[in-house]
Structure formats: C-alpha cells, structure tokens
Structure 1
Amino acid sequence: MLVQRFSRYLSIGVINTLLHWVVFLLLNLGLGISQSWSNLLAFAVAVTFSFFANARFTFQAKATPLRYLLFTCAMGLLSFLIGVTADVLALAPVITLVVFSGLSLVLGFVYSQFFVFKERT
C-alpha cells in the first residue's frame, strides 16, 4: 500500500515539479527576482495542484483548509530556506531546483503520509 501511494505521489510530483520549475525560471531568470522569492512563489503556484491531487488520488482524504495550511506552510518554509541557502552560497538556480525537488519529494511524502493526511482513529 505504501509503495502504491508513493508511486501516485511521484506521478503527481512530476507535474508539480514541471509547474514549479517553469514559474521559478520565469521569475528568477526572466524577471530577476531572487532565488528565495522565486522558489517560494513558484512553490505557491504548484502546491495547490499538488495538494488537491494528492488528497484525492494518493491519500483518498478530504482536502480541508487546515490540511492545506499545514502542508503549504511546512513545504513553503522548506522551499524558502533552500532558496535563502542558495542565495547565500550563490548557487546556480538549477541547483536550487534540483535540491528542492528531491527534498520536497521525500520529505513531502513522509509529512503527508504520517501527518497531514494521516487517518485519525
């Protein structure tokens, strides 16, 4: 069951990642916005799709405002902190995208599975 859920989460994550990368690159390279803000704003655009798709198809759970807030705040903080780190270290934007995409896939799934969408008994 856990492997099947992760597979669904991964599939939705691919679409989410594409949305995130396109918005990040447009903001950072196209408009010259810092990596921290570009990463946070790109995350905000992609997270809504990801949250609702995962609630329905991955976790078969109700998408409530509290769950949305829990998920977006935690993952948004991760996004922003990775962007700040990239700004401080003057890393290339592609590194920011790759690091955030990898970490958010693993940490986001664990956080969603065991906290955000955990079945209350």
Structure 2
Amino acid sequence: MANVWKGFSTYAVIGIANTLVHWQLFFVLRVAFEFSQALSNFLAFCVAATLSFYVNTLYTFVVPPSIGRYLLFMSCLGGVSLAVGWLGDHWRLHGMITVVSFSLISLTCGFLLSKWVVFHRSEP
C-alpha cells in the first residue's frame, strides 16, 4: 500500500503552488470577467495544471514530458473541472466551495491518475 502513495508528498507540494495559481485565476475570471464557475474553473485549471504537469514530469514521476501524456492528463482532469464548475453553477454554490471541492478531488484523483495512467512506466 505504501508504494501506491510513493511520490505523493512531492506531488502535494507542487499541488500547493498549482492550487494558489488556480484559485487566484478562478476568482479573477469569476469576479472581474463574470465568467460562469464552469468556465472559470476549467480555464484556471488549464493554466495551473500546465505548470504542475511539467514540474511533476521532472520531479515527481521523472519521465520525459510528452504531448500525449499532457493531453491525457488535461482531458481527464479538465473534464472533472468542468463538471465541478457546472455543479457549482447549477446548485448556485459559493465559488470557494467549488474550488475547494475541485482541489480535493484533483489532489487525490489527479495523483492516482498520474501515477497509474499518465506517467505509468512498465516494469522491466
């Protein structure tokens, strides 16, 4: 079980920086531009996740970055970000609830997706 979470601490530290970028951009898009929560969450995710994807390839999973891995990661978690934002709009939740919810989902599901699918290396 411990092997499943190997690398999680590095992923989480990078995730803190990712979260700060995501939240700031979400609220700028939501308040200043009056975008929906779905669009704000998705766009903020795309910007923040691009940075963290690259840093995670170098330090957490130690694999070369690739367009295929990037598109897989972005499409899976980008879909989740749109869904969480849509639910925030639909249920008229405060934006803070939307970004906190997405951040918690993204942290755990994103790590497992990254470890088992996106950055998975076959054992020799």
TM-score computed with the length of structure 2 as normaliser = 0.94
Greater share of helix: 1
User: Runs ≥4 in structure 1, deviation > 3 angstroms?
Assistant: 1-4
- AA aligned opposite 1:90: R
Residue of structure 1 aligned with 2:46, choices 29, 44, 47 = 44
Residue of structure 1 aligned with 2:55, choices 48, 53, 56 = 53
In structure 2, C-alpha distance between the alignment counterparts of 1:106 and 1:4, rounded to whole Å? 13
Give the superposition deviation at 1:29.
Answer: 1.3
Give the superposition deviation at 1:31.
Answer: 1.4
Alignment gaps of 5+ in structure 2: none
Alignment gaps of 5+ in structure 1: none
- Number of corresponding residues: 121
TM-score computed with the length of structure 1 as normaliser = 0.96
In structure 1, C-alpha distance between the alignment counterparts of 2:41 and 2:110, rounded to whole Å? 16
Q: Quick check: 47-56 or 1-10, which moved more?
A: 1-10
Q: In structure 2, what is the equivalent of residue 12 of structure 1?
A: 14
- AA aligned opposite 2:114: S
Give the superposition deviation at 1:2.
Answer: 4.7
Q: In structure 2, what is the equivalent of residue 31 of structure 1?
A: 33
